[in-house]
Amino acid sequence: MILLGWNPDRGDDPFGGYRSAGDEVTGAGFFRCRWPLPPRQATAGTEVWLFSQGGRDRGVLGHGRVASPPDPQPAGRGGAPGIVEFDALRPRGDSIPLDLLTLRVPGIAWEVNRPSRRIPAAAGPALRTLWAETSTPEEADPLLPPPGALPPGALAQTRANRYERDPSARRVCLAHHGTSCAVCGFSFEEAFGPPGRDFVHVHHLVPAARLGTDYELDPIADLVPLCPNCHSMAHRRLPDPYSPAELRALRSAAGFLPGTALSPEQLTAQADAVRILGAR
Ligand SMILES: [Zn+2]
Ligand SMILES: [Zn+2]
């Protein structure tokens, strides 16, 4: 793990405007920029935490990963530039404050007077818990994993989520497709009553790799309602998620465990189900 030191009061601006970088994280799911990194410790996927050294705001302000490590050239003071991909940047003034860090994640010299420094990976779990506890409700989206919980290969998943979380696109999608899962047919409203209304996830069908810069979302053709179980299964395949048709095929192929024998009652029940529901 690497701690990135940033002193906004000194006029350092690796972000090209911190606020717009934060907007990019909200919209696109990530923000990339160059950052001097310790060459030997920074490998692709290494977790980074942003520490703000500002006078009135000292603490952990952001999270990300090393997207590409620095060239193994002789490093200058503070390291050679690599590329860092942030997946969370809190508004300035909203950091995990220094005193709380010292109390809850002890044994680490938090102040960083250089652009980057290695910190022990053992501090990760406590830091992540503290980050989740101090998150605002919008940040603590129960549909999204906490920062650092996903393996680096799963980053493609968070990139498609901007379309899955767009409220107006979601409305159009659900108005057209309904609120039952397009794979298994589960309805939260049927199962849980009013609190379940509209809880279903919306899944973006277009793989992240095929999104050009001129891509425009079609909420009816490109989005589909999925229950959280089927949605998680869809994203189990990377980088291209399983399509709803593939998931339906997987489900019907897995209808019984190979090697198990069905009882006559189970066979009758299956035949009844096919007759009553029709082959869908
Ligand atoms: Zn489902
Ligand atoms: Zn999805």
Ligand 2 centroid – CA 207 distance (Å): 9
Mean pLDDT along residues 162-191: 89
**Position with higher pLDDT, 103 vs 159:** 103
Ligand 1 centroid – CA 179 distance (Å): 11
**Position with higher pLDDT, 202 vs 252:** 202
Residue 152 pLDDT class (50, 70, 90 cuts): very low
Q: What domains are defined for the chain?
A: 2-141 (3.10.590), 156-277 (no CATH)
Predicted local distance difference test score (pLDDT) of residue 77: 58
Q: How far apart are CA 203 and CA 232, in angstroms?
A: 10
pLDDT above 50: residue 140? no
Nearest ligand to the C-alpha of residue 185? 1
* Tokens 């029709």 sit on residue: 278
Mean pLDDT along residues 61-87: 81
Mean pLDDT along residues 93-102: 91
58-68 vs 47-53, strand pairing mode:
antiparallel
Q: How far apart are CA 115 and CA 36, in angstroms?
A: 6
Residue 102 pLDDT class (50, 70, 90 cuts): very high
Query: How many angstroms separate the first and last alpha carbons of the chain?
Result: 50
Q: Return residues with CB closer than 5 A to ligand 1 (ion).
A: 181, 183-184, 186, 227, 230
Mean pLDDT along residues 212-222: 85
Most confident of 209-213, 258-262, 273-277: 273-277
Q: Left (φ > 0), alpha (ψ -120 to 50) or beta: where does 192 sit?
A: alpha
> 207 and 181 in contact (C-beta within 8 Å)?
no
pLDDT above 80: residue 157? no
**Position with higher pLDDT, 2 vs 146:** 2
Residue 75 pLDDT class (50, 70, 90 cuts): low
Token pair recorded at residue 55: 């006078």
**Position with higher pLDDT, 277 vs 216:** 216
Residue 78 pLDDT class (50, 70, 90 cuts): low
Predicted local distance difference test score (pLDDT) of residue 73: 65
> 65 and 1 in contact (C-beta within 8 Å)?
no
Beta strands (DSSP E) in the chain are 2-6, 31-37, 47-53, 58-68, 80-89, 96-97, 116-118, 201-204, 223-226
Percentage, residues of the chain above pLDDT 70: 81
Ligand 1 centroid – CA 145 distance (Å): 19
Ligand 1 centroid – CA 256 distance (Å): 18
> 14 and 52 in contact (C-beta within 8 Å)?
no
Q: How far apart are CA 176 and CA 265, in angstroms?
A: 39
Q: Give the mean pLDDT of the chain.
A: 81
Mean pLDDT along residues 58-84: 82
Question: Tens digit of pLDDT for each residue in 1-48?
Answer: 999 999 888 888 899 999 889 888 877 677 889 999 988 888 888 999
pTM of the predicted model as reported, rounded to 2 decimal places: 0.55
Token pair recorded at residue 13: 């601006």
